[in-house]
Amino acid sequence: MKILCEIKTPFKEKFGIPRQSLLIPEAIGVMSFPKNDFYAEAFRGIENFSHLWLIFSFHQAVDEGAKALVRPPRFYGKEKWGVFASRSPHRPNHLGLSVVKFKSIEFLDKEIVLTVEGVDLVSGTPILDIKPYITYTDAYPEAVSGTFQEKPEFKKVNWNVNSEINQVTRLLIEKVIGLDPRPGFDQLQEFGVSVAGYNVRFTFRENQLYIKEISKE
Ligand code: SAH
């Protein structure tokens, strides 16, 4: 299979990445393609779509292989579900599927740059295909995904640090932490997450998150 490009995202590591796309629209993904005969035409009309599907390889899960049973994060590791009843990266072909929002397409001198919003991908993820999201066939508001698949809520985030970070990055960091990326119910531990070139240390107490330290990577 051909890799179209490696997407650039604010996420250097898997830990802390939103568990689905579009939970955090401020998470921007940038894809660059060479301006050759193929790509110069392949995007014609794409700006007519507000949303796109990205098909990609969960490349950082390949070495870990496939798992028939996985522990979906919504159960905090307490329940096991079949991989085909989950969106886990540990699938036989490690193929991922994310719907993102189209932001822009730029035709530069030597490259074409496609920018999208709401990625749930580690930076460097190989993109295998891009398709338009088509409402009549892709959206089923009545679809049942079980009460267990509700959209996660953002928890309150307290900034206990003074740092000069621009508003956009601040909001992104706040949302990443607010989605509570902790793998389990460990109350005491301090965690570190890498977002947009910053290492953010945080703790959890009484259903709120506390940012303890932010340093540039
Ligand atoms: N929307 C996609 C992805 C859901 S899983 C789908 O349903 O197929 C999302 C999680 O995959 C993220 O939280 C992150 O931890 C992990 N992830 C993101 N990019 C990855 C990659 N390239 N390799 C392995 N895991 C990745």
pLDDT, one tens digit per residue, over 139-169 is 998 888 765 567 889 999 999 887 789 999 9
Residues 85 and 179 in one domain: no
Q: Is residue 148 part of a domain?
A: no
Reported as a pLDDT band with limits 50, 70 and 90, residue 73 is: confident
Find, among 123, 116, 177, the residue nearest to 152 by Cα. Answer: 177
Reported as a pLDDT band with limits 50, 70 and 90, residue 88 is: very high
User: Using an 8 Å Cβ cutoff, are 126 and 59 in contact?
Assistant: yes
Query: Residue 100 and residue 98: Cα distance in Å, rounded?
Result: 6
Burial of residue 21, with CB atoms counted within 10 A of its CB: 0-12 exposed, 13-18 middle, 19 or more buried? buried
Taking the C-alpha atoms of 81, 145, 21 and 210 in order, what is their torsion angle to the nearest 10 degrees? -70
Residue 122 Cβ < 6 Å to ligand 1:
yes
Q: What one-character-per-residue DSSP string does 115-130 give?
A: EEE-----TTPEEEEE
For a mutational test of ligand 1's pocket, the pick from 13, 17, 67, i.e. the residue with the most ligand atoms closer than 8 A to its C-beta, is 17
Reported as a pLDDT band with limits 50, 70 and 90, residue 83 is: very high
Instruction: Measure 73 CA to ligand 1 centroid, in angstroms.
Output: 12
Residue 61 Cβ < 6 Å to ligand 1:
yes
Residue 29 Cβ < 6 Å to ligand 1:
no
Domain holding 19, by residue range, is 5-138
Residue identifier of the C-alpha nearest atom 8 of ligand 1 = 96
Residues 111 and 161 in one domain: no
For a mutational test of ligand 1's pocket, the pick from 121, 123, 149, i.e. the residue with the most ligand atoms closer than 8 A to its C-beta, is 121
**Residue 196 pLDDT:** 97
pLDDT > 80? residue 183:
no
- Average pLDDT over every residue of 82-104: 97
For 109, half-sphere exposure in the C-beta direction (CA atoms, 13 angstrom radius) is 0
Residue 179 Cβ < 6 Å to ligand 1:
no
For a mutational test of ligand 1's pocket, the pick from 51, 67, 122, i.e. the residue with the most ligand atoms closer than 8 A to its C-beta, is 122
pLDDT > 90? residue 79:
no
Residues 132 and 38 in one domain: yes
**Residue 74 pLDDT:** 72
Pairing of strands 208-216, 156-159: parallel
Residue identifier of the C-alpha nearest atom 11 of ligand 1 = 89
For 46, half-sphere exposure in the C-beta direction (CA atoms, 13 angstrom radius) is 22
Q: Which pLDDT tens digit goes with each residue over 7-47? A: 999 999 999 999 999 999 999 999 999 999 999 999 999 99
Pick from 79, 111, 138: which residue ends a domain? 138
Instruction: Measure 54 CA to ligand 1 centroid, in angstroms.
Output: 12
Instruction: Measure 141 CA to ligand 1 centroid, in angstroms.
Output: 24
User: Using an 8 Å Cβ cutoff, are 118 and 23 in contact?
Assistant: yes
Taking the C-alpha atoms of 123, 26, 18 and 187 in order, what is their torsion angle to the nearest 10 degrees? 120
Q: Which pLDDT tens digit goes with each residue over 98-117? A: 999 999 999 999 999 999 99
CATH number, domain containing residue 74: 2.40.30.70
Write the CA distances from 59 to 53, 65, 93, 96, 123, integer angstroms: 18, 10, 10, 10, 11
Pick from 75, 105, 138: which residue ends a domain? 138
Domains identified in the chain, total number: 2
Mean pLDDT in the chain? 93
**Residue 12 pLDDT:** 98
